[in-house]
Structure 1
Amino acid sequence: MKGIHSIFLACFLVSAFACFLASAFDPSPLQDFCVAIDDPKAGVFVNGKFCKDPKLAVADDFFFSRLNKPGNTNNRVGSNVTTVNVDQIPGLNTLGISLVRIDYAPYGENPPHTHPRGTV
C-alpha cells in the first residue's frame, strides 16, 4: 500500500511540474494604447503596426460606425460576418480586442471555423 502512495505522489509531482513548464501567455502591453498608423515615419513599430504619437490621438481612432447596418445574408450559408479589428478601429492596436457582428437569415448557419489563439 505504501508503494501505491509513493507512485501517486510521484505522478502528482511530475504532472504539477509539467504544468508549470507548459504555461504560456502574451506579454503585457508597454503602454495603455497604441493607435495604429500606416506611416512608417510616425514612430514605434508595435504588434505589426506603427504607433501614432499619443498626443495626436483623436476620438475617431476608437470609433466604428458600421456595426448598426445589417449585412447581406443572401449567400449559401445564410449569414454574414462583419469583423471589427485594428484595421477598422486603429485604437485597438495592442489591446487584444476584436469583435464581430453576425447577421443570420431564417435558417442561416454559422459555418464551422476555428479561433486561433482563442481560450478554451
Structure 2
Amino acid sequence: MSNKVIILSFVALTFACLAFAYEPKPLQDFCVADPNTSVKVNGLVCKDPMKVQADDFFFSGLHLMGNTSNPVGSRVTTVFATQLPGLNTLGISMVRIDYAPWGQNPPHTHPRATEILTVLEGTLEVGFVTSNPDNRFITKVLKRGDVFVFPVGLVHFQRNLGNGYAVAIAALSSQNPGAITIANAVFGANPPIPGDILAKAFQVDKSVVDQLQSKF
C-alpha cells in the first residue's frame, strides 16, 4: 500500500511540474528585454542590469482609445514584453480592448495564457467553448466593473451589446500569450489550406469555402 502511495505521489508531482511549465519562474530580480541583440532565445535576451532604467518598467498609452474602424469593430492595444521590456520573464501582460457599437473581438484563442477581463465601460457579451468532446458554450453578459476569466487555450470572444463604445482591460498569464483568430487562421492561412479539406471539415460545398477564403 505504501509503495502505491509513493508511486501516486510521484505521478502527481510530475504532472504538477508539467502544469507549471508554461513559463519558468525568473532566476533573478528582473530580465529587461534587450531589443538590440541578435541572439534568439525562448523569450528575449536580458539587458545589462547596470543599464536598466525606470523607463524599462514603464508604459504609457492605455488611456488612449483604439481605432475601431475595421470590419470587426474592435482594436486591441497590447502591453507585452515587446512594448514593456521589464515584463520579460515575469509571465504576465495586459491589453486594452476598444469596441465600436456592436463591434466584437472575434472568436480566438491564446495558446499560452489564461485571460482575466474587466469591463471599464459599456456592456459586453462574452463567452468561451470547452474542449472536445463536450464543446459546451459558456456565456455571460458583463457590465461596468464585471470580471470574467477565459481559461488558457479555449476559443473565446467578446461583443459590444450597446449603441455606444465599450472598453475593457485584460490581464494575461504570459509575457507573449499569442493570439489565433479562428476565421483568419482557417480561411486566411498562407498558403491557403486546401479548399476540399475545409469543405469536408465544415460539411459545406467547396464554393462556400472559396467565397470565405476570398474575404481573407
TM-score interval, smaller chain:
0.7 to 0.9
1:67 CA displacement? 1.2
CA-based RMSD of the aligned residues comes to 2.8
- Is 1:59 matched up with 2:54? yes
Structure 1 residues not aligned, in runs of 5+ = 1-9
* 2:15 alignment partner in structure 1: 22
TM-score in terms of structure 2 length: 0.43
* 2:103 alignment partner in structure 1: 108
Query: For the residues of structure 1 that align with 2:81 and 2:11, how far apart are their CA atoms?
Result: 36
Structure 2 residues not aligned, in runs of 5+ = 115-150, 152-216
TM-score in terms of structure 1 length: 0.73
* 2:37 alignment partner in structure 1: 40
1:38 CA displacement? 2.6
Instruction: Give the 3-state SS of the residue equivalent to 1:75 in structure 2.
Output: coil
- Over 3 Å off, 4+ runs: 14-21, 44-47
- 1:49 partner amino acid: L
1:78 CA displacement? 1.0
The total of aligned residue pairs comes to 107
Which of 1 and 2 has higher RCO (CA within 8 Å, sep 6+)? 1
1:82 CA displacement? 0.6
1:117 CA displacement? 2.4
> Could you tell me whether the CA contact under 8 Å between 1:47 and 1:94 is conserved in 2?
no
Highest Rg: 1 or 2? 1
